[in-house]
Structure 1
Amino acid sequence: MDIKGKKISIIGAADSGIAAAKLAKKMGALPFVSDSASRQSVFKWISVLENENIPYETDKHSEKVFDCDFIVTSPGVPSFSGILAEAKDKGIEIYSEFEFASWFNKGKTIAITGTNGKTTTTSLMNFTLKQSGFNTFSAGNIGTPFSDVVTEIGENDYVVLEASSFQLDFIKYFKPDFAVVLNITPDHLDRYNNDFALYARSKMNILKNQTANDVLIYNSDDRNVIDFMPAADVNKYGFSLQKEMLKGSYVKEGNMIFSDQTKETVCAVSDLFIKGPHNVSNALAVLTVAKKLGIPNKKIKSAFSSFRGVEHRIEFVRELAGVEYYNDSKATNVDSVWYALNSFEKPIYLILGGKDKGNDYNKIKELVARKVKKYMLSVLRQTKFMIFSRILFLPNINNHWKAAFFRQEKKPNRGR
């Protein structure tokens, strides 16, 4: 798409916004960046704009924002924010950074969305393709903005995108060759007027523009995925832990099977280094893409055996004085906590922080009651979990948070 001479207002001066501004300038457009945050809070990004001679404003969104041909918004800016609402009223087109970057992508796109497991699946997908000789890039919610790498992607390359609901909110033409939907459970409801349907439909924007030439890979075990999947003329493949698939991947008798006209055993579940049913499900999604790309079974097996997982996701940190410590700081919703608790066999100490996003904690009630011996909350105010834990009579260790406290207890063992 030719954007030379176009005036583009970019909302948000963080990683995605800065990357979009640099891309716009590189393509001959005239970007202007606006952020309502204080200059001090976005200082590290401001220096980039100044080095690039890109005009910007902080501490406000002025009328200058509306002097543009269209707006590119960062994923951190809520879709209901005042500046975007006003732009809509003025009839100004709004695009996500994902959408904007996709206009300049020459390669093939594999886009992965879902409430949980996106980063692990994106990483495993990228790793499997690289191990199999593909030239690939990974970007999106995983950390690197799509706009930062898109001009490096050649016609024979693949980009694996982790797509959050925020990045899919303002798409118009974005059309991945492979769209993967892992699961949909309540999360970020504070960004969607506490309406789960709005959140789910945002996720499903990933297949909005797909055609019969594209592939949709979806979790056949997830009722929400099935219920919110729109009718689309697209090549569909399911994956399941619970049943056989005529088209797709599934588990049977400890093996991962791929079915498409004929059935074949690709590898054993035990070949996958990262453990837990949720990771087997993630791996089935990757396996399905790999088979559609013609990757041999032995290369898939080798990649699954070699991939060591990602940071902050039930990541073993160290053993100190007989106590094992695991970092699962990416468990930012109730379902993530459910998966984490299911990965341990013995009673554990649970440390929680952050803010409530409108989730229902009843899903983990039984697991917490059965497995959590004590807990620590690091929050600014009382949350539903605090009330929830009191109902379960769990002891709070907030006032006793010292390593010595744990040395007296028998260490928890992670389920293998």
Structure 2
Amino acid sequence: MDMEVEGKKVAVIGLGRSGLAMVQFLCRRRAQVIATDQKSEAELGCRTLTSLRMLGVHLELGHHTPESLLGSDFILVSPGVPLSIEPLRRARAAGIPILGEVEFASRFLPGRIIGVTGSNGKTTVTRLIGAILAQAGQCVHLGGNIGIPLTSLIDRVGENDFVVAEVSSFQLETIDQFRPHIAVMTNISPDHLDRHATLGEYIHAKRRIFLNQTAADWAVLNADDPIVLEMMYETRAHPILFSRRRELDEGVFVRDDEIICRWPDGERRLMARTEIPLLGEHNVENVMAAAAVGLAVGVAMEPMREAIRSFPGIEHRLERVTRINGVDYYNDSKATNVDSAMRALEAFPGDLIVIFGGRDKGSDFRPLRPLVAERVKHVILLGEASPRIARALRGAAPMTQVASMAEAVRYAHRLARAGDTVLLAPACASFDLFDNYEHRGRVFKEEVQKLVDLADEPLQRDAPMEEANSMNEVKRS
């Protein structure tokens, strides 16, 4: 599947992690590279650009011009670049091939690819699969949407290795020949509707992970999600189902609070739900999805069990930061959509002070209302989406709007009493105030750490606040 790049003129659009990895790989393979980015030289950083110029890369910064692309043999696009931009439309009309980073890397990657997609749980499932395969003695590499470009793995992967790739809808838009031996669909809920025109368009992008699979491949599907279950009848791959709600003829399911793996050669107990070290029912589903992959690969129960029991969790995903004066602080900055925020709320019985907000992705925030009314003592709003969230949650809980993460954390500290939990679960993207969700999570943790440092000098606490019934009545701290 290797493609010839030596001597070819290749345009790379977008100089984030994926774009840089593709540029560096192309230079090693002696391609002629032009790289473009909307950001200016100052925004990208001199050190990065100097190293690219030393490699002979022609740079076009601050814009993408069609003329720079139309002479290319093919064009590589980073996931964050919409395919609808004018230069790409003109290139497509001219018949120039346009590939995404996942598609490009898959043309060169040896080994067996396991692709993981869905709306929520992708990173946790990806890392759980990696832990299970490593525990079973396999050589495994993780990459894709977890922040490690697949292109950067090409020269490190052996023929018998596994590559576990988290794959986003943006990355799946540009696949052509990409064929994972095992494809996992965790769940589907509305997301990225700021880029995908409709939910149907988003689902169509997601289901492309099964596009090139054959009867020799596997499709791991969430039987509790009607949209995902329907995909079982569309894929040519052998389906493996997992379910938290019902017993299955074949697959992974919960029975009497135990996780059971049922396979043609018999039924085996994997573990009790209480042995899972991760919070939330959604993490039971994540464990089952990873276990289903283990079944497909042929991993025995004991290595799977040990890998799951010892799994440390992932930064920014229901990550416990600390406890201060009996109040727990949790960082779930990766809750970048409504469904993931709901799953975070469901992980706690109540007494929550929640920080919502960020950049809206075209989401409907109303589904949060029942959980907010049932479990949340106070909502703190931060970022561009604050007015929309406030309207959607009007009357469900008291709300306060703040201007910064520092203000949000300090305000939550003033409100919280022993036994409460302060939870960052934004339900939004981070790009209004932060570089990405990791940056947002780190800032939250830094502000919480400042409270730890001040623990000997407790901040003055405000009196209880009246409930806000409209955005105009949302109290500002």
Counterpart Cα distance in 1 of 2:103 and 2:194: 23
Shift of 1:407: 6.3
Counterpart Cα distance in 1 of 2:357 and 2:368: 16
Query: Contact 1:204 / 1:230 at 8 angstroms: preserved in 2?
Result: no
Judged with a 3 Å threshold, the aligned counterparts in structure 2 of structure 1 residues 404 and 167 are, in CA distance, closer, same or farther, namely closer
Counterpart Cα distance in 1 of 2:336 and 2:188: 14
Q: Secondary structure at the match of 1:274?
A: coil
Counterpart Cα distance in 1 of 2:151 and 2:233: 28
1:255 counterpart = 2:258: yes
Query: Given the alignment, which residue of 134, 142, 147 partners 2:146?
Result: 142
Give the aligned partner of residue 16 of structure 1. Answer: 18
Counterpart Cα distance in 1 of 2:350 and 2:105: 46
Counterpart Cα distance in 2 of 1:252 and 1:17: 46
Q: Secondary structure at the match of 2:419?
A: coil
Large movers: runs of 4+ above 6 Å: none
Shift of 1:190: 0.8
Q: Summarize the alignment of residues 7-406 of structure 1 with structure 2, pairs less than 5 Å apart.
A: 7-43=9-45, 45-62=48-65, 63-193=67-197, 195-227=198-230, 231-261=234-264, 262-380=266-384, 382-392=386-396, 394-396=398-400, 398=402, 401=408, 402=410, 405-406=413-414
Judged with a 3 Å threshold, the aligned counterparts in structure 2 of structure 1 residues 381 and 366 are, in CA distance, closer, same or farther, namely closer
Shift of 1:168: 0.7
Q: Deviations over 1:385-412 (max 9, x none)?
A: 1212334352326387426853662332
Judged with a 3 Å threshold, the aligned counterparts in structure 2 of structure 1 residues 408 and 367 are, in CA distance, closer, same or farther, namely closer
Query: Contact 2:279 / 2:318 at 8 angstroms: preserved in 1?
Result: no
Query: Contact 1:107 / 1:159 at 8 angstroms: preserved in 2?
Result: yes
Percent sequence identity over matched residues? 36
Give the aligned partner of residue 410 of structure 1. Answer: 418
Runs of 5+ in structure 1 lacking a partner?
A: none
Q: Deviations over 1:190-235 (max 9, x none)?
A: 1012x00110010111110000111111111111213456623211
Tell me which moved more, 374-383 or 112-121: 374-383
Q: Secondary structure at the match of 1:324?
A: strand
Q: Secondary structure at the match of 1:217?
A: strand
Q: Secondary structure at the match of 1:4?
A: coil
Shift of 1:264: 1.9
Counterpart Cα distance in 1 of 2:106 and 2:142: 14
Q: Secondary structure at the match of 1:173?
A: coil
Amino acid at match of 1:323: V
Tell me which moved more, 155-164 or 87-96: 87-96
Amino acid at match of 2:420: P
Shift of 1:162: 0.5
Query: Contact 1:345 / 1:412 at 8 angstroms: preserved in 2?
Result: no
Q: Report the aligned-residue RMSD.
A: 2.0
Judged with a 3 Å threshold, the aligned counterparts in structure 2 of structure 1 residues 173 and 322 are, in CA distance, closer, same or farther, namely same
Shift of 1:338: 0.3
Q: Secondary structure at the match of 2:245?
A: coil
Normalised TM-score (structure 1): 0.95
Q: Secondary structure at the match of 1:31?
A: strand
Tell me which moved more, 68-77 or 358-367: 358-367
Query: Contact 2:21 / 2:152 at 8 angstroms: preserved in 1?
Result: yes
Amino acid at match of 1:247: E
Q: Secondary structure at the match of 1:191?
A: coil
Shift of 1:183: 0.5
Tell me which moved more, 301-310 or 361-370: 361-370
Shift of 1:254: 1.6
Shift of 1:285: 1.0
Query: Contact 1:374 / 1:397 at 8 angstroms: preserved in 2?
Result: no
Runs of 5+ in structure 2 lacking a partner?
A: 423-477
Amino acid at match of 1:57: E
Judged with a 3 Å threshold, the aligned counterparts in structure 2 of structure 1 residues 354 and 408 are, in CA distance, closer, same or farther, namely closer
